[in-house]
Structure 1
């Protein structure tokens, strides 16, 4: 009897604009076909989706959740999922990507550190919000898309306020659903996405030294099993992923500050300027100094393909 194929999980990496770190994907291109993908995928930023037409299914954490026009989806980063439309339809969507800790870090009290819901406590059915039950969520989400599309004077300030209101509303909704039994949370930690604690740790602590053994301990795995599992899901080694994260952060600093290259290399966690230059050139195709010169024009930002994984963009 043939073995059942394990689902492939794709990492879709999006680089956000530096001056206003919110990415909008909208228009006729963003239609979801009725062909069910064999791959789950997840993102490096929180995703808010708005369905404008038709209906279909989202698969989230093993649950098949129906969606329809007017629904708003709320997918925390690192949460594997996939979407497909009903037969003979192609649902139309807009997507908003952002990282709450980056854009809202000055809006919350310093004691507040949990910017996203506990990934393990999120149930798939709570990621699709019905327009009739949550009219405020739908109104705020569509208003944000409208501001980002039209770009009238002060649109960024307006979009920021709307996004903050939407995010707080989403946190309130999900905070009511985080009271799971300990055994349910423990069970989900054993699933295919056991490496999520490491992805979250690297995202917020990329500038600090870390070892493979330490990262494996975060997932309660042996070092050998952790290496194999990480590469199976991410398509790259843990330390290569760490370095890619550091280089992307370096790109932001190279473009948005006048700090020296040595200072930036230290800020993002490299122990020597030579290792920083070598890693930067390998990923970006040019030295930090050359990249910074090119980045003076607004047209260039950190490459969307800095992490060479499968994605839409």
Structure 2
């Protein structure tokens, strides 16, 4: 309805990820840089985590759209809690390999496919927080497959924040050593929330109709926490309300009432309530969280050191290339 009312070419706030509407916020740009850095290494794992709706899938859609199909073979799987053998079958199927037979047969098929093609292989695993330790171990073993000293597979793990806690497990130390880049995708800032909304509107032909109160964007941020999917859901309903009222101007009051109505419809709590909620944390749980946080911080420091070494190496190679010319 609001497409006709406001003359848009398409829905500006569809929930389905669309690489064409990618918004290069500061956090998404940094996450993209981590993906590209990891890809440049030609081996190992890249980990991107974020809240539900933070834009992980859209980020990866954009990332994949930039890869040359003549150079890369990209396979994507979405996991649930499957056993290690079943995960291998998902990987085989994603790369177009026969997934029937026992584990050894499936594994031989994957290895043959990786060695046969001259292109580089990238595996993207979505909802990776649901992977079992056995499943993650299978992925680690696949990362060991080489040909002439060259790794044949790189893996990108996408997941909710729980993935970081899973990876911090003492049993997955060998996997952590293969993580080349890791980034947590947070929400947009207040300023970026407004820019995001206007970016999506302009992408479908918005030229100022409807106009928005400046304070309306503050209300949007307050009710969504800057999470893109939440922004899309709220703004879609705001446009519908504006179209029903035939309003050429969308006020902060309209956004507020729509947000409250949406929360009531979904039976959920507001972002503000969630932020100030006080869950009960026992001393035992707090100690475990502290230990996990320490492990993650140690891993991130290691990755940061590798990035600095990589940057210095690239500068040296650039200088060396210039000197030869």
Give yes or no for TM over 0.5.
no
TM-score, normalised on structure 1? 0.24
Computing the radius of gyration from Cα coordinates, the structure with the larger value is 2
Instruction: Report which of the two has the higher share of helix.
Output: 2
Higher relative contact order (CA 8 A, sep 6+): 2
